[in-house]
Amino acid sequence: MRVEAKSATTGFEDVHLVHRVLPEIDRDEINTSIEIFGHRLSAPILITGITGGTRKAYKINSALAQAAEELGLGMGVGSQRAALENPDLAYTFTISREKAPHAFLMANVGVHQLYSERCAEEIKAAVDMIDADALAIHLNSLQEAVQPEGSPKFSGILSKIREVTRTLSVPVIAKETGAGVSAEAAALLELAGVRGVDVSGVGGTSWAAVEYHRARGRGKASSRRLGKTFWDWGIPTAISLLEVRQSTKLTTVASGGVRTGLDAAKAIALGADTVGIALPLLKPAMSGADRVVEALQAFMSELETAMFLTGSKRIEDLQKAPVVIVGKVADWLNARGFDVREYAKRG
C-alpha cells in the first residue's frame, strides 16, 4: 500500500552538493553533533511523531525511544489526543521517557487541543506526560480536509498558537504532517512566538494517500476521489525548507521524504538545523529497537560520507558548503522572488 507521494518529489534531486577532490580532512575527524534548544544530539536527526494510543503504539514508541537514547538522537511522539481523552492510554507515551531518560523528547498535540476549553491544562498535561523538552503542534489541514470525519476548522488558529507559546515553559515547534510550510506562514508563526518549524513537506508520507486507501477499504467513492486528487498536494520539502530559511530565523527541521543521509546532508547545507524521519522507521520499530538502531546507523554513515566528500568536519561546515540548486526547486524559488544563486558561490 503506497502512502508516499506519487509523482511529486522532495526536490532534493535538484539540490547538488559540490564534490571536493581535496577534502583536506580525515573521515574519523568528522563530528556530526549539534545543539537544539540547549540539548546536544550526536547527529542532526529527529525521529518525528508517528504513533501512540494503542498496544502496538506502545511497542513502537518503546523501540524508537530506546534507539534515540542509544544513539543520542531526539524523538517526537505521535498525537497525544487519545491519552488526553483517556488517561489509561498514557502508558503508550510515557514508555518513551522511560526508555529514553536523557534524550530530547517532543510532546505532540493537534489543532483539536488548541480549541479545547481546557487547552492550557491539556497541553501542560501532554508535556508533563513524557517530561518533554519541547512541544510540537501538528498542523494537518490537508488531512482534516480529505478525511470524511475530519474537522477542517482553522479560524483563529494563529492566536491559539500565540496563547500556547506565551504560557508554555518549553519551546513550541509548529509542525506540518506532509504538505510543507510557506515563507509567509513561517514568518507569522515566528511572530506568534514559536521557536521552531518542522516543514514536513511533500515527497514523503502523504495523508491524502492514507485517506485514499482508508476510503477504498470502506467503499467511499467521493472520499477516495478527494484523496486521489490531493495525493501530491503541498510544498516539496527542499522548497519549503528554503522558503522558511529565507523568511525566518527559526530552528528548522527538514522532514517529509528524507530517506537517506545524503538527503539529510543536502537539507543541512540548505540551512536545516536538523532533519526528521518518520515512515522509514515504522517497520523497523515493529521488529524492535535493534532494527531502528541499524536503520539510523546506515543513515548516519551516509551523512558522514557526504560530510567527508564535501570536506565538512562539523555540521557548521556543511551548512556553509557550496550547493547548486537547479530544476523545479530553482524555478519555484525564482518565481517566488528568492535568489538561490548565493548557495553556489559559497566555499
Ligand X SMILES: Cc1cc2nc3c(=O)[nH]c(=O)nc-3n(C[C@H](O)[C@H](O)[C@H](O)COP(=O)(O)O)c2cc1C
Query: Which residues sit at the interface with ligand X, rule CB under 6 A?
Result: 48-51, 78-79, 108, 136, 138, 175, 177-178, 200, 204-205, 255-258, 277-279, 282
Q: Which is nearer to ligand X, 285 or 321 (CB)?
A: 285
Q: Which is nearer to ligand X, 66 or 108 (CB)?
A: 108
* 46 SS3 class: strand
Q: Which is nearer to ligand X, 147 or 205 (CB)?
A: 205
**Closest CB 134 distance from ligand X, rounded Å:** 13
What type of residue is 39? H
| Residue pair 136/49 in contact by the 8 Å Cβ criterion | yes
Give φ, ψ of 341 to 5 degrees: -70, -25
**Closest CB 138 distance from ligand X, rounded Å:** 3
**Closest CB 51 distance from ligand X, rounded Å:** 6
Strand locations in 101-188, DSSP E?
Answer: 105-110, 134-138, 172-175
Q: Which is nearer to ligand X, 49 or 196 (CB)?
A: 49
Residue 266: CB atoms within 10 A of its CB come to 29
Q: Which is nearer to ligand X, 76 or 311 (CB)?
A: 76
Rounded CA-CA distance 130/106 in Å is: 8
Sole residue written with cell 548516519: 300
**Closest CB 307 distance from ligand X, rounded Å:** 21
**Closest CB 263 distance from ligand X, rounded Å:** 10
Q: Which is nearer to ligand X, 47 or 325 (CB)?
A: 47
- Kindly calculate the radius of gyration of the chain based on its CA atoms and give it in whole angstroms: 19
Residue 198 gets which letter from DSSP? E
**Closest CB 127 distance from ligand X, rounded Å:** 15
| Residue pair 223/211 in contact by the 8 Å Cβ criterion | yes
* 165 SS3 class: helix
Residue 50, C-alpha cell as written in the block? 508517528
Residue 264, C-alpha cell as written in the block? 539529510
Provide the pairing of β-strand 172-175 with 196-198.
parallel
Residue nearest to ligand X (CB): 204
β partners of residue 275: 45, 254
**Closest CB 314 distance from ligand X, rounded Å:** 25
**Closest CB 221 distance from ligand X, rounded Å:** 25
Give φ, ψ of 35 to 5 degrees: -120, 135
Rounded CA-CA distance 182/227 in Å is: 22
**Closest CB 166 distance from ligand X, rounded Å:** 22
Mention every residue, 6+ apart, whose C-beta is less than 8 A from residue 235.
179, 180, 181, 182, 199, 201, 202, 243
Q: Which is nearer to ligand X, 136 or 325 (CB)?
A: 136
Rounded CA-CA distance 269/246 in Å is: 14
